[in-house]
């Protein structure tokens, strides 16, 4: 859509406000709104000013002025605004130099796509993420110097089987058995369908929705793959739609990877393929129907996995999901069909156009622009350096003898470990100026200070049960 077409859309839909959305450094959408009278064709070249010092991980106060530059291709009518409102995703630029801001995550993704083309390896990279989430009825949490707690509730929660609900109808998914009984046990089918249809209305092709494994409202809505920057845009819109649809019904959604103890967490399995001149470069005659290019891509992703996880599994909570021995994808191996490997090659179809790999450790708490870019850069490094991924592991990893199991490399055990890997292994991310030293160091510093150290300083409620009487 061109700028004039955006203006025509506004006139056709009676738009009164324009909402500018952009991504902060850790990974949340931010926005501000102007009246429609402020939007013109020139706005897409001149942009709109805002205070960059108030955005997490961005400018210092003496260099705070920034510009949002609306991308006309992202125009849509906001389905939740009570006043007719146009939504536009924006890039961030310096108001003086007009250069794109290096700490704008969307800029990183755009540079990554440009770098891919410059290598001559492929024209486009496709990503198909599967976002899992929980729909809860109530969430309370707080922490002070003398207390700390969280309390989650869901009408679907198995823990409520004995609660007096006047009446309690008893249809509550058993722990680890939410995948996927019909209603009335699946009490959220209509809500997920509304989410799915709203996604379609907003230009995100959705393919299926279903309850996920955990009790208490875990769900998944599958969307069609797209190129790197576009799919990252769509993932942010996905979160926006899912959360706001739930809020209409006085429910709350979280994409936190591990909100419940003792049941499955929420991951984001990511399907990846490279294409050139309408040909899938991952299809071939090798293992599981893969090409040599795909196997080298896997080699790079496995080699740099610890670093990549600093972006794809970027919270301390991520590593409460990625725990060995609980069917989590913690083993750095690849396999066809085997979901216990970090990289799986789906075997649903023999059509070479559908051939892809699936990277399983990521979760939806990530900054999508950085996460997808890091995955692509690791894979490209594997292709350019012909990194051998080793032999596939088609056995059930959890049934291996202890000695053999120990020989399989593992993902980092904590965010701190992943950040240490990023510190020592990030040269491949700097190629093509996709990531910069400033972005990488700021990411490490921000995550360490605001998450790793912040959690390390606070007592955990369970520690009182372990240690109070010692």
Say whether 73 is catalytic: no
Of 103, 158, 192, 269, the catalytic one is: 269
Return the residue matching tokens 């924006």.
90
* Measured distance CA(432)–CA(412) in Å, rounded: 27
For residue range 290-305, what is the model confidence (pLDDT) as tens digits?
999 999 999 999 999 9
Q: Given this model, what pLDDT does residue 428 score?
A: 98
CB atoms within 10 A of CB 9: 16
Q: What is the pLDDT of residue 407?
A: 84
Would you state the pLDDT for residue 60? Answer: 64
Q: What is the pLDDT of residues 125-151, one digit of tens each?
A: 999 999 999 999 999 999 999 999 999
Listed range (39-53, 94-108, 335-349, 436-450) with the worst mean pLDDT: 335-349
- Distance from C-alpha of 411 to C-alpha of 332, rounded to nearest angstrom: 6
Higher pLDDT, 258 or 408: 258
Q: Which of 176, 13, 8 is nearest to 84 (CA)?
A: 13
User: What length is written for the chain?
Assistant: 470
Catalytic residue, candidates 71, 78, 130, 451: 130
- Give me the DSSP letters along 274-317: EEETTEETTBSSSGGGB-HHHHHHHHHHHHTHHHHHHHHS-STT
How many Å apart are CA 341 and CA 76, to the nearest integer? 39
Per residue in 252-294, pLDDT (tens digit) is 999 999 999 999 999 999 999 999 999 999 999 999 999 999 9
In the set 137, 358, 381, 451, the catalytic residue is 358
Q: CB 227: neighbour CB atoms within 10 A?
A: 17
DSSP strand E in 145-291: where?
148-153, 206-211, 218-223, 226-227, 252-254, 268-276, 279-280
Contacts of 407 (CB under 8 A, 6+ apart): none
Report the half-sphere exposure of 162 (CA within 13 A, side-chain side). Answer: 1
Is 292 designated active site? no
Tell me if residue 426 is catalytic.
no
Question: Which of 106, 321, 360, 426 is the catalytic position?
Answer: 360
Average pLDDT of the chain to the nearest whole number = 94
Q: Identify whether 360 is a catalytic site residue.
A: yes
**Alpha-carbon dihedral of residues 426, 427, 432, 434, nearest 10 degrees?**
10
Mean pLDDT calculated for residue range 236-246: 98
194 carries an active-site annotation: no
Contact 375, 312 (CB under 8 A): yes
At residue 243 the predicted structure's pLDDT band, cuts being 50, 70 and 90, is very high
For residues 361-377, average pLDDT? 98
Mean per-residue pLDDT, 331-346: 87
Residue 59 has pLDDT above 90, yes or no: no
Judge whether 157 and 278 are in contact, CB under 8 Å: no
Sequence-distant (6+) residues with CB within 8 A of 45 are: 69
* Active-site residue identified among 132, 233, 416, 451: 132
pLDDT band at residue 452 under the 50/70/90 scheme: very high
Task: Tell me if 372 sits within 8 A of 228, measured CB to CB.
Answer: yes
> What's the mean pLDDT in 15-29?
95
Q: Confidence class of residue 105 from pLDDT cuts 50, 70 and 90?
A: very high
- Does the structure show a pLDDT above 60 at 62? no
- The whole-number pLDDT of residue 383 equals 98
Catalytic residue among 220, 226, 263, 451: 220
Instruction: Report pLDDT for 398.
Output: 67
Kindly calculate the radius of gyration of the chain based on its CA atoms and give it in whole angstroms: 23
CA end-to-end distance (rounded Å), the chain? 66
- The structure tokens listed for 288 are 């599981």
Other beta carbons within 10 Å of 470: 4
The DSSP secondary-structure symbol of 325 reads T
> pTM for the complete prediction?
0.96
User: How many angstroms separate the CA atoms of 284 and 292, rounded?
Assistant: 7
* Cβ-proximal residues to 82 (8 Å cutoff; 6+ apart), any chain: none
- For residue 119, report the phi and psi dihedrals to the nearest 5 degrees: -75, -20
Position 57 scores a pLDDT of 85
In this prediction, residues 333-343 reach a mean pLDDT of: 84
Q: Is the pLDDT of residue 63 over 70?
A: no
Predicted confidence (pLDDT) at residue 172 exceeds the cutoff of 90: yes
Going by C-beta distance under 8 Å and a sequence separation of 6 or more, which residues neighbour residue 227? Answer: 113, 124, 125, 126, 127
Which one of 104, 113, 186, 212 is the catalytic residue? Answer: 212
β-bridge partners, 209: 221
442, with CB counted inside 10 A (0-12, 13-18, 19+), is: middle
Whether the per-residue pLDDT at 337 is higher than 80: the answer is no
User: Active site includes 279?
Assistant: no
Task: Using the predicted structure, report yes or no on whether residue 327 has a pLDDT greater than 90.
Answer: no
Distance in angstroms (rounded) separating the CA atoms of residues 70 and 20? 7
Cis peptide before 167 (omega within 30 of 0): yes
Residues paired with 86 in a beta bridge: 18, 77
Higher pLDDT, 60 or 116: 116
- 327 is a catalytic site residue: no
Residue in the structure block whose two tokens are 């294409």: 275
| Amino acid 348: pLDDT | 78
- Whole-number Å distance between alpha carbons of 427 and 422: 9
The residue ranking higher by pLDDT, 157 or 400, is: 157
- Which member of 51, 65, 427, 449 is catalytic? 51
């Amino acid at each position: 859509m061109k700028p004039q077409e955006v203006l025509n859309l506004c006139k056709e839909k009676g738009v009164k406000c324009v909402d500018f959305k952009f991504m902060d450094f850790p990974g949340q959408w931010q926005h501000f709104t102007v009246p429609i009278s402020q939007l013109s064709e020139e706005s897409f070249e001149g942009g709109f000013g805002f205070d960059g010092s108030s955005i997490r991980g961005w400018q210092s106060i003496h260099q705070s002025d920034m510009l949002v530059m609306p991308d006309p291709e992202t125009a849509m009518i906001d389905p939740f605004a009570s006043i007719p409102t146009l939504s536009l995703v924006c890039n961030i630029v310096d108001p003086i130099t007009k250069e794109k801001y290096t700490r704008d995550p969307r800029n990183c993704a755009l540079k990554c796509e440009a770098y891919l083309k410059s290598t001559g390896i492929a024209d486009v990279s496709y990503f198909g993420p599967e976002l899992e989430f929980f729909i809860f009825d109530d969430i309370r949490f707080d922490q002070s110097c003398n207390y700390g707690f969280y309390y989650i509730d869901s009408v679907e929660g198995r823990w409520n089987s004995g609660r007096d609900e006047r009446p309690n109808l008893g249809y509550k998914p058993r722990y680890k058995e939410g995948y996927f009984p019909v209603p009335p046990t699946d009490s959220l089918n209509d809500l997920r369908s509304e989410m799915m249809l709203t996604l379609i209305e907003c230009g995100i092709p959705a393919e299926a929705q279903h309850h996920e494994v955990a009790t208490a409202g875990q769900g998944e809505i599958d969307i069609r793959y797209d190129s790197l920057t576009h799919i990252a845009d769509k993932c942010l819109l996905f979160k926006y739609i899912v959360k706001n649809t739930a809020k209409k019904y006085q429910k709350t959604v979280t994409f936190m990877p591990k909100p419940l103890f003792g049941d499955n967490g929420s991951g984001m399995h990511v399907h990846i393929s490279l294409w050139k001149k309408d040909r899938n470069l991952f299809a071939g005659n090798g293992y599981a129907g893969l090409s040599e290019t795909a196997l080298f891509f896997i080699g790079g992703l496995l080699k740099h996995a610890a670093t990549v996880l600093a972006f794809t599994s970027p919270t301390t909570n991520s590593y409460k999901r990625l725990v060995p021995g609980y069917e989590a994808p913690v083993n750095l191996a690849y396999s066809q069909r085997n979901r216990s490997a970090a990289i799986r090659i789906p075997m649903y179809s023999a059509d070479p156009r559908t051939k892809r790999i699936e990277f399983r450790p990521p979760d939806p708490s990530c900054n999508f622009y950085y996460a997808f870019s890091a995955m692509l850069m690791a894979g490209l490094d594997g292709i350019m350096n012909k990194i051998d991924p080793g032999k596939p592991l088609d056995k059930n990893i959890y049934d291996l003898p202890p000695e053999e199991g120990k020989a399989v490399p593992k993902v980092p055990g904590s965010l701190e470990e992943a950040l240490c890997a990023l510190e020592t292994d990030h040269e491949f991310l700097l190629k093509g100026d996709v990531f910069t030293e400033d972005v990488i160091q700021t990411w490490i510093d921000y995550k360490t200070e605001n998450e790793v150290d912040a959690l390390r300083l606070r007592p955990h409620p369970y520690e009182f049960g372990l240690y109070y009487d010692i």
